[in-house]
A = this chain, B = another copy of it.
Amino acid sequence: MLVRSWMYFGVTFCGFVLMIDDTVAQIPQNQPIVASLTEDASVLLAENVLVQGRPYARLVELCDRFGHRLSGSTALEQSIDWAVDELRAAGITNARRESVTVPRWVRGKESLHVVAPRAYPMAMLGLGGSVGTGPHGIEADVMTVSSEDELDALGAAVAGKIVHFDNPMPSWTPQHGSCYGETVIFRVHGAAMAAKYGAIAVLVRSVTARSLRSPHTGMLSYQELTTPIPAAAISTEDSEYLRRQKDAQTPVRVRLQMDAFLDKDAQSANVVADVVGDKFPEQIVIVSGHIDSWDVGQGAHDDGAGVVMAMDTLVAIHRMGWKPKRTVRLVLWTNEENGMRGVKSYIERHQSTLHNHVAAIEADAGGFAPIALAVQCADKQRESTAAIELAQLVAKLSWLNPNQEMTVKPGSSAPDVAQLVPSGVLALGLDTYGETYFDYHHSEADTVDKVNPDELRRSAAALAAVTWFIADHPYPLGISVQVSPGAPESPGGNKHADGPK
């Protein structure tokens, strides 16, 4: 096959050795040519994924067969088994489960009713990790605040009350993205903030810029709280109702009932599968998504999309019969949503080979068209060098998203792979055109029909290209090198990629 012959020519042509030296900024003269060939191969892989990949078919199967996949659920374990089976069926026989102990939070029954001034049921979802209210529920007056300053100003006045955080999320823009990070603060920390003043529960405006009375859950953190208080998200509509009552100085009383509790830990697993490198097999490039989801919707954009994209990358490389210089490792993280135990367990298990993890990329920004690569490294020099190198590739992938110029964004990555940054790993996140991502995120609306097959395929193609680019790059991405014949080929001494082949 033409493509394959060309490729092997490229690989052979580029067969040279590198001497790694973090302190040397100089790029050898032959690097641009070599990198360019790697870029071209990456683009070919992207084209192949675009034509032959089947991320959408897999996503439909994952979503419809198993539905949402919270840690501790049967659906999650079935999904993990399914992914292993799918990979093996595609010929990747080393696909395996790596056992992970995960928390098992149980939502149980829950409801929120306004008692006064007019009885009506609010659209709510308990926050992940919240404690319950006890069987009799909690009835109390509501105090609405929009900021931590406002809460601090109220201070002890919120004792015995239910604190309501109403901070609207701005709309997504291509320039500024979602403002999720700024907006999510009260969902994560609101309970701890309010409890320290004696509040008995918190209600948090759902973190979304668009709503059809649709509450959005997500993790909270009780921090050092010794007596955690129940916390629930309410729809933006209900949040605005409370805001209007506050503005009109109309007292509101509500009744909150949540059966939520933290059950015993459960057994889960990361899915791990490798295409072993033929030059530096001990060096590992992770391509990943997370297979768990919240217990609503189908976890389609978050992160079924990332799962099937990452699967497509490995399957495509295997299908092509290509051998990257480094080992490409697919990881489908478990428990990203409420504990990050998947990646933490991976770090523990693979501690001795982490220094050989060249990079880890994760797709966890929805199944829309690709718009950016986020790149993050503890070594900021490496981060910026890698960003420059990736920019050259990204320029050749612009056809994957004709509507939006793809960029490289240094300084961030994606949730699981960011945990590898302290270990010196270059972490990357595939960002997508997420205009509607947070409309669905962590809600009943995150279903497979929200994913456009063409957009998903384009992001899958981008993920494959970036993964190949890093795995087959002449030198570890972002590390400046000097050509010095006879020098060691690898940054680490371990010649063997860990895990079964």
Closest to A239 in B: B449
**A445 is contacted by which of B211, B241, B444 (Cβ under 8 Å)?**
B211
Give Cα distance in the complex from A245 to B117, angstroms: 45
Residues on B with beta carbons closer than 8 Å to the beta carbon of A240: 447, 449
A439/B212 contact (C-beta < 8 A), A64-B245, A67-B118 known = yes
Residues on B with beta carbons closer than 8 Å to the beta carbon of A212: 210-212, 214, 439-440, 443-445
Residues on B with beta carbons closer than 8 Å to the beta carbon of A440: 212
Give Cα distance in the complex from A149 to B449, angstroms: 26
Number of copies: 2
Residues on B with beta carbons closer than 8 Å to the beta carbon of A214: 212-214, 445
**Is B123 a contact of A64 with CB atoms below 8 Å?**
no
Closest to A300 in B: B237
Residues on B with beta carbons closer than 8 Å to the beta carbon of A117: 65
Question: A46-69: contact bitstring with B at CB < 8 Å (1 yes, 0 no)?
Answer: 000000000000001000111100
14 CB contacts below 8 A, A to B, read: A60-B244, A65-B118, A67-B118, A212-B212, A212-B439, A212-B440, A212-B443, A213-B297, A213-B443, A213-B445, A214-B214, A214-B445, A236-B449, A237-B447
Query: Interface of A with B (CB < 8 Å)?
Result: 60, 64-67, 117-118, 120, 123, 210-214, 236-237, 240-241, 244-245, 297, 439-440, 443-445, 447, 449
* Other 19 A-B pairs with CB < 8 A, given A67-B120, A212-B440, A213-B443: A60-B244, A64-B118, A64-B241, A64-B245, A65-B118, A66-B118, A67-B118, A210-B212, A211-B212, A211-B445, A212-B214, A212-B439, A212-B445, A213-B214, A213-B444, A213-B445, A213-B447, A236-B449, A237-B445
